[in-house]
Chain A
Amino acid sequence: MSNRGGFHIDWPIVVMYFALLLIGWMNIYSATFSEAYTGYFDMNQNHGRQLVFIMGAVVLISVILILDIRLYTLLPWPIFALSILSLVAVLLFGQKISGARSWFTIGSLAIQPGEFAKVAAALALAKYMGTIDFQWKKLRQRFIALGIIALPALVILPQPDLGSAIVFSAFIFVFHREGMSSIWIFLGVTLGVLFVFSLLFNTHILSAILALPFLFLMYRYRKGRWAQWLGVLILVVGFVQSVDFTFNNLLEDRHRNRINIMLGLEHDPQGVGYNIHQAQIAIGSGGLFGKGYLQGTQTKFNFVPEQHTDFIFCTIGEEWGFVGSVLVLVLFASFIVRLLFMAERQKVAMYRIYGYSVASILFFHFTINIAMAMGLFPVVGIPLPFISYGGSSLWAFTILLFIFIKMDAHRKDIW
């Protein structure tokens, strides 16, 4: 290490990181807490194992910070290749756990390569898009960039793990930062809203209502660009009309059920809706100040399945109440905004792009996970970073984050 510009660790982000870890561990402890209490380091208990994972994460952090910064600019491609290979391997030789072939098991340790693939993709994308001659406007480069994201997503999808695959669409924010037109984000949001509306309301009436402003615009521009608006109108109506077909014929039953439950079109608290129903009960019963730490009845008596992993936010909601939950949300949001701020101050393009990738991935996980727990999004199994139980996800997010912290520490280096 030459230390040409010094080594400046961003302490606020590190403090927030450990705060999130602590919140996570406390709630995992609460979710697995029982009267047959055995101790913090009991390896048969989730909280005991999570403590070990946290210690492992500390080791990883040390290693990442000690390694030469140039390693991260040199190795993205081999790492990316290794990651894709491991994803293919897990499809062929992986352990099937609760229906998905996503894990390698080594002894008692289960590793999920899908979690680490995000790090590899972020590094590779940053490396590629950070080169001097990269320009979003160039179609070939644009497709290669998209390819770097699409490749791991497509290999993860057949595990099947829809949630992890969807996470890769978080990179849209990175593309946007690097020159992609805002139209695409606007379009994505619009299509999402239209999709939900088409399922909730009669598609014909919806089409008619949507057509009104376009008809007005076509009248307004009757001597000019009316044909352009007609084209948009046809696209919108076509999309709305095709949602039914897509929904009923292309999606699998379990996804269809989850979407229906989320939209309130189907009520089945004992069957497929059990999970989301119980999650909302747990959160809702928290009230303003919560029931107190370790006092949550829904948590203690396991009414919410997967509570220590994907539904960990239920424990926070029940025991810490509205005040505590909002504070956790604010902490998480500040954490992401801080990352964005850090990304913006990078002078090296690759570092900036990588920083954006980290912030986008965390933002995506955060949004989808909590929306799911609160019944705003269909149930897809993705963890809440740093808080949910799980070694692979904790380590993957830690690596993802601290590589960026390492880059940020070297932001004053002169190249």
Chain B
Amino acid sequence: MDRRFILLSGFVLAVLLIFSARLFYLQIIDEDLKLSAENNVIRRIKDYAPRGHIYDRENRLVVGNQSAYDLMVVPSQIRDLDTAAFCQVFNIEKEELKRKLTRATTYSRLKPSVVIKQMMRSEYVEVQEHIIFFPGFYFQRRLLREYLYEGAPNIAGFIGEVSETFIRNNPGYSRGDFYGVAGIEKSYEQTLRGKDGVRRIVVDVHNREKGRFQEGMYDTLPQPGEHLTTTIDIELQRYAELLMTNKRGGVVAIEPSTGELLIVASSPTYDPSLLVGRHRNQNYFQLFSDSIEKPLFDRALLAEYPPGSPFKIVNALIGLQEGAISPNSHYACGGGFRHGRLFVRCKCGTAAPIPLKTGIYKSCNNYFCQTYKKIVDSYPTAQEGLERWSNYVRSFGMGEFFNNDLPTGRRGNVPDSTYYNRIYNDHRWKAVSTISNGIGQGELLSTPLQLANIAAIVANRGFYYTPHIVSHIGGEPITDPHFTQRKKTMVDSIHFEHVIAGMFEVFQQGTARLAKVEGIDMCGKTGTAENPHGQDHSIFMAFAPKDNPKIAIAVFVENGYWGSRWAAPIASLIMEKFLTGEVQREALEKRMLEGSLEDEYREQAIRLAERRAKKNE
């Protein structure tokens, strides 16, 4: 053998060895390449889990699911598109179609893009048979929310598509997912959402579907979200919303024995179906930009009003507990409360000294200014007295968040000594400096929810359950001790009967006698709250029946003149309907349903605009 033959053979052998080593590295050692190969061909497609249903306390379906259809396009598959016919069938402007197609092509010629979002079933059935005439277009099914009632949008809230920022902050989400934006949808997002399934499909180099990966061996089925049973009585809620038509404000009703919310109504309201389907964005923008009516603003949970006269009940209870007054303490009202140059007017119309009960049902300002002054002045300094007083008020659930299962809420405001020390920086303030607190005015602020909770406390004679909106998750009752354990106020229950006697008289001979219902022992307290925006707010707080109460309610009607004009009748109608199932007083009901404060709001808006204009001059 020639040694040169050996040399070339050696080369062949060397190449063989090098190649084998390289193959060993590529095929046995390097795991990344196998992963890349998988990424090349396997696409993970989400099988969206249907969100859980939302029921009311009577198991009526409030929010369910419905199919909607996205019209998709794959630009590379379009053949001889008849634009005119397309626009006619799908009811879309030619310009818009052109824009959508350009955008789709820019994104990808081979991947699908959305042309028309969320066509509802009714639209879909009309056009689906035409789709075969337009190659490149197809429908993709999505699950959307279906609302079975035209109102109560603030309870369930709504869902929306996740944004890029949301995905960054919430790793469990990806593009195209929905999430709860507001209401129960938001606070119970994890429960309602369920778990999306994953389908693995095999695609070729052009991203065309080529079948299921390993016959679906690794696919997971979607787990539907759990159903929620709310504490809301949806019929009652709708009734409250109807009564509040053309009036602004909030209505909250609670079952005192459980803390379950029966009504959380905000007015003006809107149909939640507006936020579903093809025109969602347009509708949302309209609701969002209505800066006068603010329909997206949940007044029942977020509006902070001065509680006004109903707060006198709290002051009476604190006075009784502190021994500052007794049920027999008499004060004579001379048309108001006087202290030096300070004067708080009163329209109770009594001259002789009156006891606590009369003070309540006549809503005497003087009586409760005196009570408040006595509570605060029984301590060495006004600071100490006020601190004590504000602790009492806080134990009624005011000035603090409830931290309940509603996604939003407000603290309201209970002023304490620090607050006044800041305002009066010489610290030389006295009980009379803060006398408005005696009648629920001034710095005090309360949401309708908080006032309804006070009504529940009185109904319970001294305690409350944190108001909450969900009673069962997936059929199982909630067990969170935050909702199932009673919270006591700092006032002993023996004192409550005295104020309840007064609240009972409110319907018999007091400020709400016109809202009285035969056969139901209602207890309530009207309120007329001065406010910086304009006409006084109409407020009412009540519970019924007097013994073993079933419902506690608070009604705020913005700029409703006085308590007995709007709030008291509305509250009594709601309670009547809840307790008897129907309303006998048709005339009153009709007056409330048709009554409108729109003129008042318009004038107020004009006044506001004028004032702003003047300021700008």
6 contacts between A and B (CB under 8 A): A278-B40, A283-B26, A298-B37, A300-B204, A333-B12, A374-B19
Question: What separation, in Å, do the CA atoms of A182 and B23 have in the docked complex?
Answer: 30
Contacts of A370 in B (CB 8 A): 19
Cβ of B20 and Cβ of A344 under 8 Å apart?
no
Whether B40 lies near A281 (C-beta < 8 A) is yes
Chain A residues near B205: list those with CB within 8 A. Answer: 301-303
Note all chain B residues with C-beta closer than 8 A to A333.
12-13, 15-16
A182: chain B residues at CB < 8 Å are 7
**A288, B27: Cβ atoms closer than 8 Å:** yes
Roughly how many angstroms separate A370 CA and B26 CA in the complex, as a whole number?
13
Residues of B in contact with A (beta carbons under 8 Å apart): 1-2, 4-5, 7-9, 11-13, 15-16, 18-20, 22-24, 26-28, 30, 32-34, 36-38, 40-41, 202-206, 210
A198 within 8 A of B: no
B27 touches A321 (CB 8 A): yes
Known: A182-B7, A340-B9. A177 touches B2 (CB 8 A): yes
Taken together as a complex, chains A and B put the C-alpha atoms of A356 and B24 apart, in Å, by 31
In the complex, what residues of A have CB within 8 A of residue B8's CB?
173, 176-177, 340, 356, 359-360, 363
Identify A284's interface contact among B4, B15, B37, CB under 8 A.
Answer: B37
Contact A287 B19 (CB under 8 A): no
B20 near A326: Cβ-Cβ < 8 Å: yes
Instruction: Please determine whether B12 and A363 come into contact, CB atoms closer than 8 angstroms.
Output: yes
CB-based contact B204/A301 at 8 Å = yes
Question: Which of B2, B26, B30 gathers most chain A CB within 10 Å?
Answer: B26
Closest CB in chain A relative to B475 CB, distance in Å: 45
CB <8 Å contact, A363 and B11: yes
Report how far A112 CA is from B233 CA in the complex, Å: 85
Known contacts A177-B2, A326-B23; A285 and B33 CB within 8 A of each other: yes
Using known A-B contacts A297-B40, A303-B40, A344-B1, determine if residue A284 contacts B16 with beta carbons closer than 8 Å: no
- Whole-angstrom distance from the CB of B38 to the nearest CB of chain A? 8
Pairwise interchain contact B27-A284, C-beta atoms closer than 8 A: yes
Q: A284-B34, A333-B12 are in contact. Are A322 and B23 (CB under 8 A)?
A: yes
B385 to A: closest C-beta gap in Å: 75
The distance in angstroms between the C-alpha atoms of A185 and B8, with both chains bound, is 11
CB distance from A151 to the nearest CB of B (A): 24
Query: Residue on B with the closest CB to A189?
Result: B11
Residues of A within 8 A of B4 (CB): 176-177
Distance A282 CA – B30 CA, assembled complex (angstroms): 12
Contacts A297-B41, A298-B41, A374-B22 given; does A287 touch B12 at CB 8 Å: no
A371 within 8 A of B: yes
- Shortest B87–chain A CB gap in Å is 35
Does A384 lie at the interface of the complex (its beta carbon under 8 Å from any beta carbon of B)?
Answer: no
> Given A35, A176, A325, A340, which contacts B23 in the complex, CB threshold below 8 Å?
A325
Are B27's CB and A317's CB within 8 A? yes
Residues of A within 8 A of B7 (CB): 176, 182, 185
Measured between alpha carbons, how far is A366 from B12 in the docked complex, in Å?
Answer: 10
A376 at the interface (CB under 8 A from B): yes
Which A residues touch B23, using CB under 8 A? Answer: 283, 317, 322, 325-326, 329, 374
* Distance in angstroms between the alpha carbons of A330 and B11 in the assembled complex: 14
A286 at the interface (CB under 8 A from B): yes
CB distance from A302 to the nearest CB of B (A): 5
Interface of B: prevailing SS: helix
Q: Contacts A322-B27, A333-B12 known; A302 to B204 CB distance under 8 Å? A: yes
| Interface residue? A280 (CB, 8 A) | yes
Cβ contact within 8 Å between B5 and A281: no
Complexed CA–CA distance, A173 and B2 (Å): 13
Q: Which residue of A lies closest to B30 (CB)?
A: A284
- With A301-B202, A344-B5, A359-B8 as contacts: A285 and B37 at CB distance below 8 Å: yes
User: Which listed residue, B2, B15, B33, touches A367 by the CB 8 Å rule?
Assistant: B15
Enumerate chain A residues within 8 angstroms of B27, measured Cβ to Cβ.
Answer: 283-284, 286-288, 317, 321-322, 325
Contact flags A263-286 to B (C-beta < 8 A → 1, else 0): 000000000000000101111111
**A129: interface (CB < 8 Å):** no
B-contacting residues, A310-355, CB 8 Å: 317, 321-322, 325-326, 329-330, 333, 336-337, 340-341, 343-344
B11 adjacent to A374 (CB under 8 Å) = no
Given A317-B23, A340-B9, residue A301 in contact with residue B37 (CB < 8 A)? no
Query: A301 to chain B: which residues have CB within 8 Å?
Result: 40-41, 202-205, 210
Contact A297 B37 (CB under 8 A): yes
Task: Beyond the given A281-B40, A284-B30, please list 7 additional residue pairs across the A-B interface where CB-CB is below 8 A.
Answer: A281-B37, A284-B37, A285-B33, A325-B23, A329-B19, A333-B15, A376-B22
Q: How far is the CA of A121 from the CA of B204 in the complex (A)?
A: 43
Would you call B16 and A329 a contact (CB within 8 A)? yes
**A residues 145-166 in Cβ contact with B at 8 Å:** none
Contact A374 B26 (CB under 8 A): yes
B202 nearest CB neighbor, chain A only: A297
Whether the Cβ atoms of B9 and A282 lie closer than 8 Å is no
Q: Which residue in chain B gives the minimum CB-CB distance to A322?
A: B27
A317–B26 contact, CB under 8 A? yes
| Chain A residue at minimum C-beta to C-beta distance from B16 | A333
> In the assembled complex, which residues on chain A have CB atoms less than 8 Å from the CB atom of B5?
177, 340-341, 343-344
**Max chain A C-beta neighbours (<10 A), residue from B32, B36, B202:** B36
- What's the Cα separation between A288 and B13 when bound, in Å? 22
Contacts of B33 in A (CB 8 A): 280-281, 283-285
Instruction: Using known A-B contacts A297-B37, A298-B40, A344-B5, determine if residue A336 contacts B30 with beta carbons closer than 8 Å.
Output: no
Q: Could you tell me if B210 and A322 are in contact, using CB atoms closer than 8 angstroms?
A: no
CB-nearest residue of chain A relative to B213?
Answer: A297
Q: Check B34 against A285 for contact (C-beta < 8 Å).
A: yes
A287 CB contacts on chain B under 8 angstroms: 27-28, 34
A193 to chain B, nearest CB (A): 13
In the bound assembly, the distance between CA atoms of A177 and B7 in angstroms comes to 9
- Measured CB to CB, the closest approach of chain B to A371, in angstroms, equals 7
- The distance in angstroms between the C-alpha atoms of A185 and B1, with both chains bound, is 20
Cβ-closest chain B residue relative to A180: B4
Set of chain A residues within 8 Å of B204, measured between Cβ atoms: 300-303
Residues in B neighbouring A35, C-beta threshold 8 A: 210
A284 and B26 form a contact (CB under 8 A):
yes
Which B residues are CB-close (under 8 A) to A340?
A: 5, 8-9, 12
CB distance from A180 to the nearest CB of B (A): 10
Closest Cβ–Cβ distance, residue B301 to chain A (whole Å): 51
Per the bound structure, the CA–CA distance linking A92 and B381 in Å amounts to: 112
> Chain B residues with Cβ under 8 A from A298's Cβ?
37, 40-41
> Which chain B residues border A321 with CB–CB below 8 Å?
27
Contact of B28 among A288, A297, A344 (CB under 8 A): A288
Question: When chains A and B are docked, how far (Å) is the Cα of A288 from the Cα of B27?
Answer: 6
Bound Cα distance A393, B2 (Å): 31
A330 partner, pick from B16, B26, B32, beta carbons under 8 A: B16
CA gap between A171 and B535 in the complex, in Å: 106
Closest CB in chain A relative to B33 CB, distance in Å: 3
Q: Tell me, rounded to whole Å, the shortest Cβ–Cβ distance linking B5 to chain A.
A: 5
**With the chains together, A356 CA to B8 CA distance in Å?**
10
Please measure, in the bound complex, the distance between the C-alpha atom of A281 and the C-alpha atom of B35, giving whole angstroms: 9
Residues of A within 8 A of B202 (CB): 297, 301
Nearest A-chain residue to B206, judged by Cβ: A302
A278 to B40, CA, bound (A): 9
Of B8, B30, B34, the most chain A CB neighbours within 10 A belong to: B8
B33's nearest neighbour on chain A, judged by CB, is A284
Q: How far is the CB of A261 from chain B (nearest CB, A)?
A: 16
Interface centre among A173, A176, A340, A370 (most CB of B within 10 A): A340
Taking a contact as CB atoms under 8 Å apart, the answer to whether A337 and B12 are in contact is yes
Please, how many angstroms separate the alpha-carbon atoms of A282 and B38 in the complex? 10
Docked Cα-Cα span, A293 to B27, in Å, equals: 16
Those of A351-408 within 8 Å (CB) of chain B: 356, 359-360, 363, 366-367, 370-371, 374, 376
Which residue of chain B is the closest to A269 with respect to CB atoms?
B36
Chain A residues, CB < 8 A from B11: 173, 363
Q: Bound state CA distance, A341 and B12, in angstroms?
A: 13
Closest 6 CB pairs of A and B: A284-B33, A301-B204, A285-B37, A284-B26, A297-B41, A322-B27
| Residue of B9, B28, B36, B203 touching A281 (CB-CB under 8 A) | B36
